[in-house]
Structure 1
Amino acid sequence: MKGQEWYQAADVAEEYDSKRFSQGGRLIDEREKQAVIDAIAPMEGKRVLEIACGTGRFTVMLAERGADIVGLDISAAMVQQGRERARRAGVEDHLQFILGDAARLPFPDDYFDVVFAMRFFHLADTPASFLSEMCRVSRDQVFFDTFNRASLRTVYNWLLPMGSRLYSDSEVLRLLHGAGLRLDEEDHDFILPYGFYRSIPDDIARRFRDVDVSLGDSVAGSLASVSYWDAKVE
Protein backbone atom coordinates (compact mmCIF):
# COMPACT_ATOMS: atom_id res chain seq x y z
CA MET A 1 0.00 0.00 0.00
CA LYS A 2 1.28 3.47 -0.88
CA GLY A 3 2.84 5.40 2.01
CA GLN A 4 2.36 2.60 4.53
CA GLU A 5 5.38 3.52 6.67
CA TRP A 6 4.51 7.24 6.60
CA TYR A 7 0.92 6.52 7.57
CA GLN A 8 1.92 4.48 10.61
CA ALA A 9 4.22 7.13 12.11
CA ALA A 10 3.11 8.49 15.51
CA ASP A 11 3.66 12.15 14.58
CA VAL A 12 1.55 11.74 11.42
CA ALA A 13 -1.32 10.25 13.46
CA GLU A 14 -1.18 13.06 16.01
CA GLU A 15 -1.38 15.78 13.35
CA TYR A 16 -3.54 13.98 10.79
CA ASP A 17 -6.89 15.62 11.56
CA SER A 18 -5.51 19.10 12.27
CA LYS A 19 -3.65 19.22 8.95
CA ARG A 20 -6.45 17.84 6.78
CA PHE A 21 -9.64 19.07 8.39
CA SER A 22 -8.83 22.56 9.62
CA GLN A 23 -9.39 25.76 7.63
CA GLY A 24 -11.10 24.88 4.34
CA GLY A 25 -10.58 21.21 5.11
CA ARG A 26 -13.64 21.41 7.35
CA LEU A 27 -15.74 21.42 4.18
CA ILE A 28 -14.17 18.14 3.11
CA ASP A 29 -14.82 16.60 6.53
CA GLU A 30 -18.46 17.73 6.44
CA ARG A 31 -19.04 16.39 2.94
CA GLU A 32 -17.40 13.03 3.59
CA LYS A 33 -19.33 12.51 6.81
CA GLN A 34 -22.59 13.35 5.08
CA ALA A 35 -21.78 10.90 2.29
CA VAL A 36 -21.26 8.11 4.83
CA ILE A 37 -24.45 8.99 6.73
CA ASP A 38 -26.51 9.11 3.53
CA ALA A 39 -25.17 5.73 2.40
CA ILE A 40 -25.61 3.81 5.66
CA ALA A 41 -28.69 5.39 7.27
CA PRO A 42 -30.72 4.22 9.04
CA MET A 43 -27.85 2.80 11.06
CA GLU A 44 -29.43 1.96 14.43
CA GLY A 45 -28.44 -1.61 15.26
CA LYS A 46 -26.53 -2.25 12.05
CA ARG A 47 -23.28 -4.18 12.31
CA VAL A 48 -20.70 -2.06 10.47
CA LEU A 49 -17.01 -2.43 9.65
CA GLU A 50 -14.86 0.55 8.70
CA ILE A 51 -11.70 -0.34 6.79
CA ALA A 52 -8.70 1.97 7.33
CA CYS A 53 -10.53 3.82 10.09
CA GLY A 54 -7.55 6.05 10.89
CA THR A 55 -8.28 8.43 13.74
CA GLY A 56 -11.88 7.25 14.00
CA ARG A 57 -13.75 10.30 12.73
CA PHE A 58 -16.33 8.09 10.97
CA THR A 59 -16.19 5.22 13.46
CA VAL A 60 -17.06 7.44 16.41
CA MET A 61 -19.69 9.36 14.45
CA LEU A 62 -21.54 6.14 13.57
CA ALA A 63 -21.26 4.80 17.12
CA GLU A 64 -22.92 8.01 18.32
CA ARG A 65 -25.78 7.28 15.91
CA GLY A 66 -26.39 3.76 17.15
CA ALA A 67 -24.33 1.57 14.83
CA ASP A 68 -22.59 -1.53 16.18
CA ILE A 69 -19.25 -0.65 14.61
CA VAL A 70 -15.71 -1.97 14.37
CA GLY A 71 -12.88 0.23 13.10
CA LEU A 72 -9.89 -1.58 11.59
CA ASP A 73 -6.55 0.00 10.75
CA ILE A 74 -2.99 -1.14 10.14
CA SER A 75 -1.52 1.73 12.18
CA ALA A 76 -1.31 1.39 15.96
CA ALA A 77 -0.79 5.15 16.25
CA MET A 78 -3.97 5.89 14.28
CA VAL A 79 -5.98 3.39 16.30
CA GLN A 80 -4.79 5.02 19.53
CA GLN A 81 -6.02 8.38 18.26
CA GLY A 82 -9.36 6.76 17.49
CA ARG A 83 -9.68 5.35 20.97
CA GLU A 84 -8.94 8.75 22.45
CA ARG A 85 -11.61 10.30 20.22
CA ALA A 86 -14.13 7.68 21.34
CA ARG A 87 -13.28 8.33 24.99
CA ARG A 88 -13.82 12.08 24.57
CA ALA A 89 -17.15 11.43 22.83
CA GLY A 90 -18.25 9.04 25.57
CA VAL A 91 -18.80 6.09 23.23
CA GLU A 92 -15.74 3.97 24.03
CA ASP A 93 -18.05 1.16 25.24
CA HIS A 94 -20.10 1.21 22.03
CA LEU A 95 -17.44 0.44 19.42
CA GLN A 96 -14.27 -1.55 18.90
CA PHE A 97 -10.95 -0.61 17.33
CA ILE A 98 -8.63 -3.36 16.14
CA LEU A 99 -5.30 -3.57 14.37
CA GLY A 100 -5.56 -5.48 11.12
CA ASP A 101 -4.69 -5.79 7.46
CA ALA A 102 -7.46 -4.96 4.98
CA ALA A 103 -6.10 -7.62 2.64
CA ARG A 104 -6.82 -10.34 5.22
CA LEU A 105 -9.83 -9.35 7.28
CA PRO A 106 -10.10 -11.35 10.52
CA PHE A 107 -13.84 -11.98 10.20
CA PRO A 108 -16.02 -14.79 8.80
CA ASP A 109 -18.06 -14.44 5.63
CA ASP A 110 -21.18 -12.25 5.77
CA TYR A 111 -20.34 -11.01 9.27
CA PHE A 112 -21.30 -7.36 8.80
CA ASP A 113 -24.34 -5.60 7.35
CA VAL A 114 -22.16 -2.83 5.92
CA VAL A 115 -18.45 -2.52 5.13
CA PHE A 116 -17.05 0.84 4.08
CA ALA A 117 -13.72 2.55 3.43
CA MET A 118 -12.99 6.26 3.02
CA ARG A 119 -9.64 7.68 1.92
CA PHE A 120 -8.35 4.18 1.28
CA PHE A 121 -8.54 3.13 -2.36
CA HIS A 122 -6.26 5.92 -3.58
CA LEU A 123 -3.47 4.15 -1.63
CA ALA A 124 -4.39 0.59 -2.61
CA ASP A 125 -1.82 -1.25 -4.69
CA THR A 126 -4.19 -4.20 -5.32
CA PRO A 127 -7.70 -2.70 -5.21
CA ALA A 128 -9.39 -5.83 -6.56
CA SER A 129 -8.20 -7.98 -3.66
CA PHE A 130 -9.18 -5.37 -1.07
CA LEU A 131 -12.64 -4.95 -2.55
CA SER A 132 -13.16 -8.72 -2.69
CA GLU A 133 -12.32 -8.97 1.02
CA MET A 134 -14.78 -6.18 1.83
CA CYS A 135 -17.45 -8.02 -0.15
CA ARG A 136 -16.65 -11.34 1.54
CA VAL A 137 -17.35 -10.09 5.07
CA SER A 138 -20.44 -8.04 4.12
CA ARG A 139 -23.82 -9.62 3.69
CA ASP A 140 -25.45 -6.58 2.11
CA GLN A 141 -23.61 -3.30 1.41
CA VAL A 142 -20.14 -2.01 0.49
CA PHE A 143 -19.40 1.72 0.30
CA PHE A 144 -16.17 3.49 -0.66
CA ASP A 145 -14.71 6.53 -2.40
CA THR A 146 -12.12 7.00 -5.14
CA PHE A 147 -10.08 9.83 -6.61
CA ASN A 148 -10.77 10.24 -10.31
CA ARG A 149 -8.47 10.19 -13.30
CA ALA A 150 -10.43 12.66 -15.46
CA SER A 151 -10.13 15.58 -13.03
CA LEU A 152 -7.85 18.30 -11.71
CA ARG A 153 -6.65 15.71 -9.23
CA THR A 154 -4.38 14.47 -12.03
CA VAL A 155 -2.43 17.74 -11.97
CA TYR A 156 -2.43 17.96 -8.18
CA ASN A 157 -1.12 14.39 -7.99
CA TRP A 158 2.21 15.48 -9.46
CA LEU A 159 2.87 17.63 -6.40
CA LEU A 160 2.36 14.82 -3.89
CA PRO A 161 5.35 12.83 -2.63
CA MET A 162 3.41 9.54 -2.73
CA GLY A 163 0.89 10.36 -5.40
CA SER A 164 -2.51 8.67 -5.47
CA ARG A 165 -4.06 5.89 -7.45
CA LEU A 166 -6.65 7.48 -9.73
CA TYR A 167 -9.62 5.62 -11.18
CA SER A 168 -11.90 5.92 -14.17
CA ASP A 169 -15.59 5.11 -13.82
CA SER A 170 -15.17 2.07 -16.07
CA GLU A 171 -12.35 0.73 -13.89
CA VAL A 172 -14.49 1.00 -10.75
CA LEU A 173 -17.34 -0.81 -12.47
CA ARG A 174 -14.98 -3.63 -13.47
CA LEU A 175 -13.71 -3.86 -9.90
CA LEU A 176 -17.26 -4.06 -8.55
CA HIS A 177 -18.21 -6.78 -11.01
CA GLY A 178 -15.06 -8.76 -10.23
CA ALA A 179 -15.77 -8.60 -6.50
CA GLY A 180 -19.35 -9.80 -6.86
CA LEU A 181 -20.89 -6.39 -6.20
CA ARG A 182 -23.67 -4.51 -7.98
CA LEU A 183 -23.56 -0.72 -8.13
CA ASP A 184 -26.62 0.71 -6.41
CA GLU A 185 -25.85 4.44 -6.28
CA GLU A 186 -22.99 6.76 -7.16
CA ASP A 187 -22.22 10.39 -6.45
CA HIS A 188 -19.44 12.69 -7.71
CA ASP A 189 -18.10 15.89 -6.16
CA PHE A 190 -15.25 18.40 -5.72
CA ILE A 191 -14.01 19.72 -9.05
CA LEU A 192 -11.32 21.57 -7.09
CA PRO A 193 -8.95 19.08 -5.41
CA TYR A 194 -8.81 18.65 -1.66
CA GLY A 195 -5.38 20.23 -1.35
CA PHE A 196 -6.74 23.53 -2.59
CA TYR A 197 -9.39 23.71 0.12
CA ARG A 198 -7.00 22.76 2.90
CA SER A 199 -4.69 25.62 2.01
CA ILE A 200 -7.17 28.50 2.41
CA PRO A 201 -9.24 29.91 5.32
CA ASP A 202 -12.68 28.44 5.95
CA ASP A 203 -14.68 31.54 4.99
CA ILE A 204 -12.90 31.86 1.64
CA ALA A 205 -13.13 28.12 1.04
CA ARG A 206 -16.91 28.24 1.44
CA ARG A 207 -17.18 30.79 -1.37
CA PHE A 208 -15.16 28.57 -3.66
CA ARG A 209 -17.25 25.61 -2.55
CA ASP A 210 -20.45 27.34 -3.70
CA VAL A 211 -18.93 27.81 -7.15
CA ASP A 212 -17.59 24.26 -7.14
CA VAL A 213 -21.04 22.81 -6.40
CA SER A 214 -22.65 24.92 -9.12
CA LEU A 215 -20.09 23.83 -11.69
CA GLY A 216 -20.42 20.23 -10.59
CA ASP A 217 -24.17 20.35 -11.12
CA SER A 218 -23.78 21.88 -14.59
CA VAL A 219 -21.30 19.28 -15.88
CA ALA A 220 -23.04 16.33 -14.18
CA GLY A 221 -19.97 15.37 -12.21
CA SER A 222 -17.84 14.52 -15.25
CA LEU A 223 -14.93 16.61 -13.91
CA ALA A 224 -15.35 15.62 -10.26
CA SER A 225 -12.17 14.70 -8.41
CA VAL A 226 -13.95 12.41 -5.92
CA SER A 227 -16.59 9.72 -6.37
CA TYR A 228 -18.67 7.82 -3.81
CA TRP A 229 -19.72 4.28 -4.72
CA ASP A 230 -22.56 2.46 -2.95
CA ALA A 231 -22.81 -1.21 -3.93
CA LYS A 232 -24.84 -4.26 -2.95
CA VAL A 233 -23.61 -7.80 -2.51
CA GLU A 234 -25.01 -10.01 -5.27
Structure 2
Amino acid sequence: MKGKEWYQATEVAEEYEDKRFSQGGRLIDRQEKEAVSTALGDLEGKKVLEIACGTGRFSVMLAARGADVVGLDISDAMLSQGREKARGAGLSERVEFVRGDAARLPFPDDHFDAVLAMRFFHLIPNPDRYLEEIRRVTSDQLVFDTFNTPSTRSIYNRLLPMGSRLYEESDVSAMLERTGYELTDSTHDFLLPYGFYRAIPRSVADAFYRVESGLRDTEAGDGFASVTYWDARIN
Protein backbone atom coordinates (compact mmCIF):
# COMPACT_ATOMS: atom_id res chain seq x y z
CA MET A 1 0.00 0.00 0.00
CA LYS A 2 1.31 3.44 -0.81
CA GLY A 3 2.23 5.30 2.34
CA LYS A 4 0.90 8.56 3.71
CA GLU A 5 4.07 10.32 2.61
CA TRP A 6 3.35 9.52 -1.05
CA TYR A 7 -0.25 10.70 -0.81
CA GLN A 8 0.70 13.97 0.88
CA ALA A 9 3.44 14.92 -1.58
CA THR A 10 2.80 18.20 -3.42
CA GLU A 11 3.72 16.76 -6.82
CA VAL A 12 1.25 13.90 -6.35
CA ALA A 13 -1.56 16.32 -5.49
CA GLU A 14 -0.79 18.56 -8.46
CA GLU A 15 -0.90 15.64 -10.92
CA TYR A 16 -3.60 13.59 -9.18
CA GLU A 17 -6.62 14.52 -11.28
CA ASP A 18 -4.73 14.55 -14.58
CA LYS A 19 -3.56 11.00 -13.93
CA ARG A 20 -6.78 9.63 -12.46
CA PHE A 21 -9.44 11.47 -14.45
CA SER A 22 -8.07 12.14 -17.90
CA GLN A 23 -8.78 9.99 -20.97
CA GLY A 24 -11.07 7.12 -19.90
CA GLY A 25 -10.82 8.33 -16.34
CA ARG A 26 -13.33 11.04 -17.22
CA LEU A 27 -15.91 8.28 -17.59
CA ILE A 28 -15.13 7.08 -14.06
CA ASP A 29 -15.50 10.63 -12.75
CA ARG A 30 -18.88 10.99 -14.46
CA GLN A 31 -20.24 7.70 -13.13
CA GLU A 32 -19.10 8.37 -9.59
CA LYS A 33 -20.58 11.85 -9.53
CA GLU A 34 -23.89 10.59 -10.92
CA ALA A 35 -24.03 7.88 -8.25
CA VAL A 36 -23.24 10.34 -5.45
CA SER A 37 -25.75 12.90 -6.70
CA THR A 38 -28.50 10.29 -6.96
CA ALA A 39 -27.84 8.88 -3.50
CA LEU A 40 -27.67 12.25 -1.71
CA GLY A 41 -30.66 13.76 -3.49
CA ASP A 42 -31.71 17.33 -2.71
CA LEU A 43 -28.87 19.08 -0.88
CA GLU A 44 -30.18 22.64 -0.63
CA GLY A 45 -29.29 23.96 2.83
CA LYS A 46 -27.87 20.66 4.10
CA LYS A 47 -24.55 20.25 5.90
CA VAL A 48 -22.34 17.59 4.32
CA LEU A 49 -18.97 16.21 5.36
CA GLU A 50 -16.74 14.60 2.75
CA ILE A 51 -14.12 12.31 4.26
CA ALA A 52 -10.90 11.77 2.29
CA CYS A 53 -11.94 14.61 0.01
CA GLY A 54 -8.61 14.74 -1.82
CA THR A 55 -8.62 17.52 -4.40
CA GLY A 56 -12.25 18.37 -3.68
CA ARG A 57 -13.93 17.15 -6.85
CA PHE A 58 -16.97 15.92 -4.89
CA SER A 59 -16.91 18.68 -2.27
CA VAL A 60 -17.13 21.42 -4.89
CA MET A 61 -19.85 19.55 -6.78
CA LEU A 62 -21.95 19.23 -3.61
CA ALA A 63 -21.51 22.92 -2.81
CA ALA A 64 -22.66 23.79 -6.33
CA ARG A 65 -25.82 21.80 -5.58
CA GLY A 66 -26.61 23.93 -2.52
CA ALA A 67 -24.91 22.13 0.35
CA ASP A 68 -22.66 23.64 3.00
CA VAL A 69 -19.65 21.34 2.76
CA VAL A 70 -16.64 20.45 4.86
CA GLY A 71 -13.97 18.49 3.02
CA LEU A 72 -11.60 16.60 5.32
CA ASP A 73 -8.31 15.04 4.28
CA ILE A 74 -4.94 14.18 5.78
CA SER A 75 -2.98 15.85 2.97
CA ASP A 76 -2.34 19.59 3.03
CA ALA A 77 -1.28 19.39 -0.61
CA MET A 78 -4.57 17.81 -1.65
CA LEU A 79 -6.56 20.32 0.39
CA SER A 80 -4.70 23.16 -1.32
CA GLN A 81 -5.87 21.83 -4.67
CA GLY A 82 -9.42 21.67 -3.32
CA ARG A 83 -9.35 25.28 -2.15
CA GLU A 84 -8.10 26.37 -5.55
CA LYS A 85 -10.90 24.43 -7.23
CA ALA A 86 -13.51 26.01 -4.95
CA ARG A 87 -12.16 29.51 -5.62
CA GLY A 88 -12.27 28.89 -9.35
CA ALA A 89 -15.91 27.83 -9.08
CA GLY A 90 -16.83 30.81 -6.89
CA LEU A 91 -17.81 28.48 -4.06
CA SER A 92 -15.23 29.23 -1.37
CA GLU A 93 -17.92 30.47 1.01
CA ARG A 94 -19.78 27.14 0.79
CA VAL A 95 -16.79 24.79 1.14
CA GLU A 96 -14.36 24.58 4.02
CA PHE A 97 -11.33 22.30 3.70
CA VAL A 98 -9.95 20.88 6.95
CA ARG A 99 -6.92 18.71 7.65
CA GLY A 100 -7.83 15.87 9.98
CA ASP A 101 -8.03 12.19 10.84
CA ALA A 102 -11.25 10.39 9.95
CA ALA A 103 -10.87 8.20 13.03
CA ARG A 104 -11.06 11.28 15.29
CA LEU A 105 -13.34 13.76 13.57
CA PRO A 106 -13.07 17.30 14.98
CA PHE A 107 -16.83 17.92 14.97
CA PRO A 108 -19.63 17.69 17.55
CA ASP A 109 -22.26 14.96 17.61
CA ASP A 110 -24.94 15.05 14.89
CA HIS A 111 -23.25 18.00 13.21
CA PHE A 112 -23.88 16.92 9.60
CA ASP A 113 -26.95 15.81 7.69
CA ALA A 114 -24.86 13.48 5.52
CA VAL A 115 -21.34 12.11 5.17
CA LEU A 116 -19.70 11.11 1.89
CA ALA A 117 -16.68 8.77 1.85
CA MET A 118 -15.54 7.84 -1.65
CA ARG A 119 -12.29 5.98 -2.38
CA PHE A 120 -11.81 5.53 1.36
CA PHE A 121 -12.97 2.17 2.68
CA HIS A 122 -10.61 0.19 0.47
CA LEU A 123 -7.65 1.84 2.25
CA ILE A 124 -8.49 1.31 5.93
CA PRO A 125 -7.75 -1.77 8.06
CA ASN A 126 -10.56 -1.37 10.62
CA PRO A 127 -13.74 0.00 9.01
CA ASP A 128 -15.89 -0.42 12.13
CA ARG A 129 -13.83 2.18 13.99
CA TYR A 130 -14.39 4.74 11.25
CA LEU A 131 -18.06 3.90 10.79
CA GLU A 132 -18.71 4.48 14.49
CA GLU A 133 -17.00 7.88 14.36
CA ILE A 134 -18.91 8.85 11.21
CA ARG A 135 -22.19 7.82 12.87
CA ARG A 136 -21.35 10.09 15.81
CA VAL A 137 -21.12 13.24 13.67
CA THR A 138 -24.03 12.66 11.29
CA SER A 139 -27.74 12.66 11.98
CA ASP A 140 -28.94 10.80 8.92
CA GLN A 141 -27.00 9.48 5.92
CA LEU A 142 -23.72 7.90 4.84
CA VAL A 143 -22.83 7.36 1.18
CA PHE A 144 -19.66 5.44 0.33
CA ASP A 145 -18.15 3.02 -2.16
CA THR A 146 -16.20 -0.24 -2.00
CA PHE A 147 -14.14 -2.32 -4.38
CA ASN A 148 -15.57 -5.80 -4.57
CA THR A 149 -14.76 -9.45 -4.62
CA PRO A 150 -15.43 -11.52 -6.64
CA SER A 151 -14.63 -9.18 -9.53
CA THR A 152 -11.92 -8.36 -12.04
CA ARG A 153 -10.62 -6.03 -9.33
CA SER A 154 -9.42 -9.14 -7.47
CA ILE A 155 -7.07 -9.95 -10.35
CA TYR A 156 -5.99 -6.34 -10.85
CA ASN A 157 -5.38 -6.00 -7.13
CA ARG A 158 -2.65 -8.66 -7.22
CA LEU A 159 -0.72 -6.61 -9.76
CA LEU A 160 -0.83 -3.32 -7.88
CA PRO A 161 2.02 -2.14 -5.67
CA MET A 162 -0.64 -0.74 -3.32
CA GLY A 163 -3.27 -3.29 -2.38
CA SER A 164 -6.93 -2.48 -1.83
CA ARG A 165 -9.26 -3.97 0.70
CA LEU A 166 -12.02 -5.82 -1.18
CA TYR A 167 -15.52 -6.44 0.15
CA GLU A 168 -18.36 -8.84 -0.44
CA GLU A 169 -21.92 -7.59 -0.01
CA SER A 170 -22.26 -9.68 3.15
CA ASP A 171 -19.17 -7.93 4.60
CA VAL A 172 -20.71 -4.50 4.07
CA SER A 173 -24.12 -5.50 5.42
CA ALA A 174 -22.54 -7.01 8.53
CA MET A 175 -20.30 -4.04 9.34
CA LEU A 176 -23.15 -1.58 8.87
CA GLU A 177 -25.38 -3.59 11.19
CA ARG A 178 -22.61 -3.82 13.81
CA THR A 179 -22.09 -0.07 13.82
CA GLY A 180 -25.67 1.18 13.86
CA TYR A 181 -26.62 1.76 10.23
CA GLU A 182 -29.40 0.48 8.00
CA LEU A 183 -28.53 -0.20 4.37
CA THR A 184 -31.16 1.46 2.18
CA ASP A 185 -29.76 1.12 -1.34
CA SER A 186 -26.80 -0.04 -3.41
CA THR A 187 -25.73 0.34 -7.02
CA HIS A 188 -23.12 -1.79 -8.78
CA ASP A 189 -20.83 -0.44 -11.50
CA PHE A 190 -17.83 -1.29 -13.70
CA LEU A 191 -17.11 -4.90 -14.55
CA LEU A 192 -13.64 -3.86 -15.73
CA PRO A 193 -11.28 -2.27 -13.19
CA TYR A 194 -10.60 1.45 -13.08
CA GLY A 195 -6.99 1.00 -14.17
CA PHE A 196 -8.14 -0.39 -17.51
CA TYR A 197 -10.35 2.62 -18.23
CA ARG A 198 -7.67 5.12 -17.25
CA ALA A 199 -5.29 3.61 -19.80
CA ILE A 200 -7.52 4.11 -22.86
CA PRO A 201 -8.99 7.14 -24.68
CA ARG A 202 -12.42 8.39 -23.57
CA SER A 203 -14.16 7.37 -26.81
CA VAL A 204 -12.88 3.80 -26.46
CA ALA A 205 -13.78 3.78 -22.77
CA ASP A 206 -17.35 4.82 -23.59
CA ALA A 207 -17.65 1.95 -26.08
CA PHE A 208 -16.35 -0.61 -23.59
CA TYR A 209 -18.66 0.76 -20.91
CA ARG A 210 -21.73 0.39 -23.15
CA VAL A 211 -20.86 -3.27 -23.75
CA GLU A 212 -20.17 -4.05 -20.10
CA SER A 213 -23.35 -2.24 -19.01
CA GLY A 214 -25.37 -4.78 -20.99
CA LEU A 215 -23.51 -7.62 -19.31
CA ARG A 216 -23.80 -6.06 -15.87
CA ASP A 217 -27.56 -5.77 -16.27
CA THR A 218 -27.80 -9.56 -16.25
CA GLU A 219 -28.11 -11.39 -12.94
CA ALA A 220 -24.75 -13.11 -13.39
CA GLY A 221 -22.91 -9.98 -14.51
CA ASP A 222 -24.20 -7.81 -11.68
CA GLY A 223 -22.55 -10.10 -9.15
CA PHE A 224 -19.10 -9.42 -10.62
CA ALA A 225 -19.15 -5.62 -10.58
CA SER A 226 -15.85 -4.09 -9.46
CA VAL A 227 -17.44 -1.20 -7.56
CA THR A 228 -20.54 -0.70 -5.42
CA TYR A 229 -22.00 2.60 -4.21
CA TRP A 230 -23.79 2.20 -0.84
CA ASP A 231 -26.48 4.39 0.73
CA ALA A 232 -26.92 3.84 4.48
CA ARG A 233 -28.99 5.60 7.16
CA ILE A 234 -28.49 5.94 10.88
CA ASN A 235 -30.53 3.35 12.77
Instruction: String of CA shifts for 1:77-105, please: whole Å, max 9, x gaps.
Output: 00000000001111111110000000000
| 8 Å contact from structure 2 (residues 2, 161) kept in 1 | no
Unaligned runs of 5+ in 2: none
Report the alpha carbon displacement of residue 220 of structure 1 after superposing the two structures with TM: 5.5
Counterpart-to-counterpart distance in 2, 1:132 and 1:170: 18
Match of 2:133 in 1: 133
Instruction: String of CA shifts for 1:156-186, please: whole Å, max 9, x gaps.
Output: 0112111101011111111101110000001
Instruction: String of CA shifts for 1:4-43, please: whole Å, max 9, x gaps.
Output: 2221111111111000100000010000001110011100
Match of 1:187 in 2: 187
Match of 1:221 in 2: 222
- Mark the CA change 1:110 to 1:2 in structure 2 (over 3 Å): closer, same or farther: farther
User: For this pair of structures, how many residues does the alignment match?
Assistant: 234
Counterpart-to-counterpart distance in 2, 1:119 and 1:213: 22
Counterpart-to-counterpart distance in 2, 1:2 and 1:124: 12
Report the alpha carbon displacement of residue 3 of structure 1 after superposing the two structures with TM: 3.0
Amino acid at match of 1:230: D
Amino acid at match of 2:132: S
Match of 1:161 in 2: 161
Match of 1:51 in 2: 51
Counterpart-to-counterpart distance in 1, 2:105 and 2:2: 19
Report the alpha carbon displacement of residue 108 of structure 1 after superposing the two structures with TM: 1.1
| 8 Å contact from structure 1 (residues 13, 78) kept in 2 | yes
Instruction: String of CA shifts for 1:125-172, please: whole Å, max 9, x gaps.
Output: 211111111111110001100000110000001121111010111111
The answer as to 2:65 corresponding to 1:68 is no
Counterpart-to-counterpart distance in 1, 2:222 and 2:133: 29
Amino acid at match of 1:45: G
Report the alpha carbon displacement of residue 187 of structure 1 after superposing the two structures with TM: 0.8
Instruction: String of CA shifts for 1:38-93, please: whole Å, max 9, x gaps.
Output: 01110000110000000000000111111011000010000000000001111111
Match of 2:178 in 1: 178
Superposition TM-score, scaled by structure 2 size:
0.97
| 8 Å contact from structure 2 (residues 54, 78) kept in 1 | yes
Amino acid at match of 2:231: D
Unaligned runs of 5+ in 1: none
Counterpart-to-counterpart distance in 2, 1:144 and 1:183: 11
| 8 Å contact from structure 1 (residues 2, 124) kept in 2 | no
Q: Equivalent residues in 2 for 1:1-234 (5 A)?
A: 3-218=3-218, 219=220, 221-234=222-235
